[in-house]
Each structure stands twice: as C-alpha cells, then as structure tokens.
C-alpha cells in the first residue's frame, strides 16, 4: 500500500509550486516553444532536476514513489515541465548513479545535486528507434581512448544539458552485446547539439539531435563495462517508464479536473439521475481510468523502491496511463466543446502533449512486446514440472 501522509504532503508542496510558478506561464511557453529560463532556475533551486540524485551529492535522494508524484503534479498543469524533469532524472541521473564508476559519479553528480546540471540520454537514431539495438553510432579504439562518430535523434533536454550519455557500437559482430555506452561533457570537441524538432505538442520541451564527429574520448569515458551499454539503457528505460506513466497520469488528471469544473460550473451538473448523462458517464469513466492508471504507476514505483522486479509493471503502467491520458484529454475536449477545441485551451494543450506518451521512451507496441515476454515467461514458470521431492524427505513425510 503506497498511501502515506508524507507522500500526500509532498504532493501538496509540488502542487503549490506548479500552481504558482508553472500554470501561469504554461500556455505562453507552449505558444513560444520555449522553456522559461526563470522557471528552469526556480526548478533547479527547488531540486526538481536532482530528485533522484543521492543526498551525498547534494541531491534530493528521493524514493521513486514521491518522484512519480512530483512528475505527475507538474504534468497536471504542463506536460513540457513534466517531461523535462522526468528525462533529467530517469534517463540522466539514474544511469549515472546506477552504472557509473565512482570517478564518473564524483565528476558529474555534485553538479547535478548542487546546481541542477542536466544529463541527456542518447539512444534513438534515425534508423534505430523501437529497434534500439540497430544502433549505428560507433566508437573505435584510438590509442588509449576512443573515437566516437554518429548521430542521435529525438533526444530530450540536450540544449539544457551539461553531460551526455550515449550508446555506440564497439564490437560490430556482437549484436546487442557489442553496444557500449559513453559519458561526455557538452564542450567536448566534435560534439554538437543539432536540429531541434518542431513537434505537435510538448512545445517547451527540448527535443534535438546529437552529432558526434571524430569525438576523441579518454578510456574512462566508457560508461560501465564494454558491451553493457544496451542492457544499461534497457534497465534505465524500465525505470523511465514509471516517470512517463506518471506524466501521462498527470495530464489525464489535469484534463479530468478541467472537465469536472466545466461540468459543474458551466453546465450546472450535480449528479441527478435525469441530468446530462452524456457528460456524467464520460466523467465517471475518466475518473475510474485515472485511478486505475494511478494504481499501476504507484505500484511499479513502490516495487522499485522495495528492490523487487518491476519491469513488467512499469511497462503496463506506462502503456495504460498513456492511453488513459489520451482518452481523458480527448473526452475533456468533447465535454468543453469549442471552449476545449480552441487554441489556448488547456485541454487542447494536454491532448497534444499526452500523445507523445504513446510514442516516446518506447511505443505502446514495444510495451506490448515487453509485457508479452514477461507473461509468457510467467506461464512457462507456472506450468514447468515441479521438482520431485527428495527421496529421504518423502520417506520422512510418509
Ligand atoms: N533489463 C536488462 N537486460 C535487458 C533488458 C532489460 N529490461 N531488456 C533486454 N535486455 C538484455 C537481454 O537480456 C539481452 O541480453 P543477452 O544478450 O545477454 O541475452 C539483450 O539485452 C538483448 O535483449 P533483446 O534480445 O530482448 O533485445 P531486442 O532487440 O529484442 O529488444 C526491445 C527489443 C524490447 C523492443 C528493445 O529494443 C526496446 O526496448 N526498444 C524500445 C527502445 C525505446 O524505448 N526507445 C526510446 C528511448 S528514449 C530516447 O532515446 C530519447 C529521449 O531522450 C526520451
């Protein structure tokens, strides 16, 4: 059971921050396709970029459940703010803290904890999206170090980032086991942030390309053991799915809240039996789905905090919450009618923003593949012949 007064107190704190500092500028950030720099400074001061960074480095050292609540509450008013925090923590801080050497952690994490430095995560490539092991970016031995070449696309936050972690093929004949990961500073010669994407939603979130052209890296830029890059990134995505689930949940809740207020204040809905069921029914369906999504997101966060296997649940949480976010923002537009459909309406922004959640950090189709692998394994385990009882033990119990 995750309900805990401390978690709810923290939710209130983040909600107050979001209402005071994010909601008033969310529409402007969306229209100008720019993350407000003052908001970014405030978020760094509050520690939103270092929620998962251990306290010993000056970070918040937060558990996954409260982290998910933070992403949910920020996303409830602004998807761009939610994804910026989610990517910085789940895809940036988490892998450095989990797979980095002590030297790498000491080099990177104090800047995250004390100043809110951001780390970008480079996996996707023009020819390697869902098929992440199709990576073409490569790193070859160059004296004592490495020479890195290639490009990454659709990467979140690189314009705000101080550090980059990226996958690259180091052993071309070894498949997924031939992919390693590297850590580099944004000022490393040969590295450049490329074109920024113009997107349907999440306008204030930075989505850009990364280019590596003969980037010379020292030996210790290798991140974890050679050949472990693909696994590290897959494990990172297992956790990242909790935060994108939380983001979709926040956008769903935000849409529901707006639709409810509209139904009560503008349509005079009170819940009577003969009253506008065309509005009552979708509101109830939205609320039920939001609760179900919340259960999945918090369950996967709680399992992660308990160091229990959580990858099946996080894939389910991300997939389901994304679809609930889509449904709720769509229904909210229907309930608000033209007030919802017109540009500048908050539900219209949520509708565009939440669409990313069914695509980014793994499509819903990839999640269905991942979930099917787990449930098929569970079936194999459940139907495997039981080990025969030791003869001695059998004698005793007889
Ligand atoms: N944890 C640990 N190890 C894992 C793992 C996991 N979750 N998933 C796979 N592995 C391991 C496997 O055990 C296997 O190891 P061995 O070789 O030792 O047996 C190895 O990795 C290869 O695994 P698979 O054979 O399962 O690999 P696959 O090619 O079949 O992977 C896939 C299939 C699950 C669809 C995977 O490619 C995938 O998750 N794709 C989606 C990628 C994705 O989400 N991309 C978005 C990234 S976000 C981004 O880049 C931009 C941003 O900033 C948001």
- Tens digit of each residue's pLDDT (9 = 90 or more) over 206-257: 999 999 999 999 999 999 999 999 999 999 999 999 999 999 999 999 999 9
Give residue 2's pLDDT band: very low, low, confident or very high (50, 70, 90): low
The runs of H, that is alpha helices, within the chain are: 5-17, 23-32, 37-46, 64-77, 79-86, 94-99, 102-115, 229-261, 277-305, 311-336, 338-341, 346-354, 364-383, 391-397
> Which residues does residue 184 pair with via DSSP β-bridges, in sequence order?
164
On the question of pLDDT at 394 being above 70, the answer is: no
The secondary element (H helix, E strand) that includes residue 209 is strand 207-217
Of 121, 111, 132, nearest to 84 by C-alpha is 121
Provide the annotated active-site residues.
Answer: 361
Of 118, 104, 122, nearest to 191 by C-alpha is 122
CB atoms within 10 A of CB 257: 17
CB distance 356 to ligand 1 below 6 Å: no
Q: Please, what is the average pLDDT of the chain? A: 94
CB distance 153 to ligand 1 below 6 Å: no
What does the pLDDT read at residue 4? 84
Give residue 372's pLDDT band: very low, low, confident or very high (50, 70, 90): very high
On the question of pLDDT at 1 being above 60, the answer is: no
pTM reported for the whole predicted model = 0.94
On the question of pLDDT at 398 being above 50, the answer is: no
Of all atoms in ligand 1, which is nearest to the CA of residue 207? 53
Ordered DSSP codes for 152-196:
EEEEESGGGEEEEEEEEESSTTSGGGGEEEEEEETTSTTEEEEEE
Asked if 185 and 252 touch (Cβ cutoff 8 Å), the reply is no
What does the pLDDT read at residue 390? 63
On the question of pLDDT at 59 being above 60, the answer is: yes
CB distance 210 to ligand 1 below 6 Å: no
Give residue 389's pLDDT band: very low, low, confident or very high (50, 70, 90): low
What does the pLDDT read at residue 74? 98
Asked if 200 and 29 touch (Cβ cutoff 8 Å), the reply is no
On the question of pLDDT at 375 being above 50, the answer is: yes
Compute the average pLDDT of residues 79-100: 97
What does the pLDDT read at residue 278? 85
Work out the percent of the chain whose per-residue pLDDT is above 70.
96
The residue to mutate among 128, 174, 231, 377, having the most atoms of ligand 1 within 8 angstroms of its beta carbon, is 231
Q: CA angle at residue 228 from 226 to 229, to 5 degrees?
A: 100
Compute the average pLDDT of residues 293-315: 97
What does the pLDDT read at residue 388? 65
The residue to mutate among 94, 124, 174, 176, having the most atoms of ligand 1 within 8 angstroms of its beta carbon, is 176
Compute the average pLDDT of residues 45-59: 97
pLDDT tens, position by position, 8-28: 999 999 999 999 999 999 999
Looking at beta carbons, which pairs linking 335-344 to residues 24 or more positions away fall under 8 Å?
335/259, 335/262, 335/263, 335/279, 335/282, 335/283, 336/258, 336/259, 336/262, 339/262, 339/266, 340/258, 344/27, 344/31
Distance 125 CA to ligand 1 centre (A): 14
Give residue 381's pLDDT band: very low, low, confident or very high (50, 70, 90): confident
Give residue 172's pLDDT band: very low, low, confident or very high (50, 70, 90): very high
Asked if 33 and 199 touch (Cβ cutoff 8 Å), the reply is no
Work out the percent of the chain whose per-residue pLDDT is above 90.
87
What does the pLDDT read at residue 392? 59
Asked if 133 and 83 touch (Cβ cutoff 8 Å), the reply is no
What does the pLDDT read at residue 140? 97
Task: Point out the least confidently predicted range of 79-83, 275-279, 298-302, 391-395.
Answer: 391-395
pLDDT tens, position by position, 151-160: 999 999 999 9
What does the pLDDT read at residue 391? 59
User: For residue 291, what are its two tokens?
Assistant: 């609760």
On the question of pLDDT at 175 being above 50, the answer is: yes
User: Which residue's C-alpha comes closest to atom 25 of ligand 1?
Assistant: 176
CB distance 369 to ligand 1 below 6 Å: yes
What does the pLDDT read at residue 150? 97
What does the pLDDT read at residue 177? 95
Report the half-sphere exposure of 91 (CA within 13 A, side-chain side). 30
- Report the alpha-carbon distance of residue 111 to residue 117 in Å, rounded: 5
Integer CA distances (angstroms), 248 to 77, 140, 241, 318, 369, in order:
11, 39, 10, 8, 20
Distance 181 CA to ligand 1 centre (A): 14
User: Which of the pair, 127 or 395, is modelled with greater confidence?
Assistant: 127
């Amino acid at each position: 059971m995750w309900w805990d007064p401390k978690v709810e107190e923290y939710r209130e704190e983040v909600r107050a921050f979001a209402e005071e500092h994010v909601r008033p500028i969310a529409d402007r950030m969306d229209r100008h396709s720019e993350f407000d720099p003052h908001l970014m400074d405030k978020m760094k001061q509050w520690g939103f970029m270092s929620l998962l960074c251990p306290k010993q480095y000056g970070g918040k050292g937060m558990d996954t459940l409260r982290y998910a609540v933070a992403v949910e509450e920020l996303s409830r008013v602004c998807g761009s703010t939610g994804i910026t925090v989610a990517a910085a923590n789940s895809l940036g801080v988490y892998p450095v803290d989990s797979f980095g050497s002590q030297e790498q952690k000491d080099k990177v994490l104090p800047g995250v904890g004390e100043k809110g430095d951001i780390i970008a995560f480079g996996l996707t490539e023009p020819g390697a999206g869902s098929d992440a092991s199709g990576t073409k970016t490569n790193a070859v031995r160059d004296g004592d170090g490495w020479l890195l070449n290639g490009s990454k696309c659709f990467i979140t936050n690189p314009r705000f980032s101080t550090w980059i972690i990226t996958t690259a093929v180091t052993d071309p004949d070894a498949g997924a086991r031939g992919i390693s990961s590297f850590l580099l500073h944004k000022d490393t010669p040969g590295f450049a942030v490329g074109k920024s994407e113009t997107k349907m939603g999440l306008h204030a979130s930075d989505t850009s390309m990364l280019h590596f052209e003969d980037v010379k890296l020292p030996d210790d830029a290798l991140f974890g053991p050679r050949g472990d890059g693909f696994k590290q990134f897959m494990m990172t995505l297992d956790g990242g799915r909790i935060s994108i689930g939380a983001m979709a949940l926040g956008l769903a809740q935000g849409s529901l809240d707006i639709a409810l207020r509209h139904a009560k204040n503008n349509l005079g809905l009170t819940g009577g039996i003969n009253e506008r069921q065309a509005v009552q029914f979708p509101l109830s369906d939205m609320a039920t789905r939001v609760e179900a999504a919340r259960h999945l997101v918090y369950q996967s966060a709680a399992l992660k905090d308990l160091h229990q296997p959580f990858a099946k649940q996080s894939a389910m949480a991300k997939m389901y919450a994304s679809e609930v976010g889509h449904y709720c923002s769509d229904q909210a537009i229907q309930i608000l009618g033209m007030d919802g459909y017109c540009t500048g309406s908050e539900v219209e922004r949520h509708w565009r923003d939440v669409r990313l959640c069914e695509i980014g950090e793994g499509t819903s189709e990839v999640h269905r593949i991942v979930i099917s692998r787990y449930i098929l394994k569970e079936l194999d385990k459940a139907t495997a012949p039981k080990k025969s009882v030791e003869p001695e033990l059998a004698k005793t119990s007889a």
